[in-house]
Amino acid sequence: MSPTTLITGTAIGGTLFALWPYVKGFINRIRSFLFLKVTLDSTQLSSALMHFCWMKCKRRKLGGDYTYGADRWYLPKLRKWQMILYERLGCSSVIFFYKWMPIVILQEQGDGNNRRSTTALWMIRGTVNIDQFMIDVKNHYCTCRDEGIENERFKIKNKFGTLGQDQSNGAEPADWSTQTNDDEFILSSRLLDVTHHDLLYNTRVNFLTSLALPKHVEELIEDAKLWKQSELWYNERDIPWKRAWMLYGPPGTGKSSLAKAVAQLLDLPLNLYSLSTFDNRSFINSWEDNKSFAPCMALIEDIDTVFHGRNNVNKNMEGTSLTFDTLLNCIDGVNSSNGVFTIITTNRPEFVDAALADFSKTPPQGRAGRIDRVIHLDFLDEHCSRQIAERILKDCPDLIEDAIKYGTGNTGAAMQLHCSLLALRRYHKDKKNAS
């Protein structure tokens, strides 16, 4: 290569390098003039959009790899566990045709401190009414919910803090309760050998009918139903729309079962807090999440196992455990507790601080603004025993009276187990005799 050629090439390269920012800016202006980019900064919206496009639009893959997975799910219709295959949507670039107009969907990785990926849509400017497109996505999502992908709000979700969890790999605590209600999984996956509805339960167990409740509790349940229906009334009068109960009594008397039954009756998501796993920061963040679920129920079980008065008996060596003041501030919070039905249970009311409920009074009184009702669930009386016996032993009436004697003065859990064993023995005996 001659020196002249080398010098000329170097000059051209230097000129292009110097002019490249201007060339790049010109290309970006042309691109922004011809194409429209829409960024979705919501995981739920991204999942809903991918599900809408895969179900409603023609599509063509733009390179990239396919991502397949398999999970073991219980299929209610078949009454068995089975491995299901699916393609994870949104893992590669795809072009969809919405009303014959092309839309390219890309997954963009964050950079710097923001590592979270986002979904970006590219389309020819002026060809798609983006507002109408988003409305169609939303309507499709709502239709899926109405048809059963998420046909009820009630579901139980365990809420864990950071204490005792291995955070080295960034993993979240496991949640056992979300399998059949995991709308994010259903909306972000294309199932290969089953349908979305095969994963859903078609029947519901009515938890309330399985409980034997005294009259004063039945009246409070009616009060809870009125609260759920009165959001507008509260807002018009600038009254915080929240409820809080303290349930106390011996173990096995149905405190947790009552909370679950009320949540199902009111169709509220139930967030079950494992209080001992929280420090202040993680509890505040988790409680703030209730806004996303409101109206919802927050259940704190057995507060006496964590707090004796105001002292956290599970305090770790670093002193980072949840403090009682933080718990009170979250329950008190007008913004963070609006639409939240809080239920706290305890087996040992003598350990409950008067800032929540004063058990030195007769009857015990909840602290105004924090606990609205203090409810005692005791051993069964004859009326409640009869309710359980007549429900479980309806096919063996000759056993009912003896069962009532056993249950009176006992716990609901013990009575239900006793009656179930009697009924099962009679069922298998009659079945054997019939054969």
- Cα 169 to chain center, whole Å? 23
Verify that 260 and 360 share a domain, yes or no. Answer: yes
Verify that 327 and 263 share a domain, yes or no. Answer: yes
For residue 211, with 0-12 CB atoms within 10 Å meaning exposed, 13-18 middle and 19 or more buried, which class applies?
A: buried
CATH code (residue 259): 3.40.50.300
Verify that 194 and 243 share a domain, yes or no. Answer: no
Residue 333 within a domain: yes
Verify that 78 and 55 share a domain, yes or no. Answer: yes
pLDDT tens-digit profile, the chain (435 residues): 567 777 776 777 777 677 777 767 777 677 777 888 888 877 778 878 877 887 788 877 665 567 888 888 877 677 778 888 888 766 667 788 888 888 888 777 665 555 566 788 888 888 888 899 889 988 887 776 655 545 568 888 889 888 755 433 333 333 333 333 455 566 667 788 887 667 665 445 688 888 888 888 999 999 999 999 999 999 999 999 999 999 999 999 999 999 999 999 999 999 999 999 999 999 999 998 888 788 999 999 999 999 999 999 987 655 678 999 999 999 887 666 889 999 999 999 999 999 999 999 989 999 988 999 999 999 999 999 999 999 999 999 999 999 999 999 999 999 999 999 999 999 999 988 887
Verify that 301 and 366 share a domain, yes or no. Answer: yes
Verify that 342 and 387 share a domain, yes or no. Answer: no
Q: How many domains does the chain have?
A: 3
- Cα 333 to chain center, whole Å? 21
Residue 230 within a domain: yes
Verify that 386 and 364 share a domain, yes or no. Answer: no
Verify that 324 and 299 share a domain, yes or no. Answer: yes
Domain that holds residue 424: 382-434
Residue 240 within a domain: yes
Q: Tokens 């996303």 — which residue? A: 292
Verify that 245 and 365 share a domain, yes or no. Answer: yes
- The last residue of one of the domains, among 343, 361, 376, is 376
Q: Which residues contact 56 (CB under 8 A, 6 or more apart)?
A: 136, 140
- The last residue of one of the domains, among 356, 376, 396, is 376
- Cα 241 to chain center, whole Å? 21
Beta bridge partners of 307: 312
Residue 162 within a domain: no
Verify that 232 and 337 share a domain, yes or no. Answer: yes
Residue 106 within a domain: yes
Verify that 403 and 369 share a domain, yes or no. Answer: no
Query: Each residue of 370-423: pLDDT tens digit?
Result: 999 999 999 999 999 999 999 999 999 999 999 999 999 999 999 999 999 999
Q: How far apart are CA 42 and CA 30, in angstroms?
A: 28
Verify that 315 and 212 share a domain, yes or no. Answer: yes
What's the mean per-residue pLDDT of the chain?
82
Residue 57 within a domain: yes
Residue 14 within a domain: no
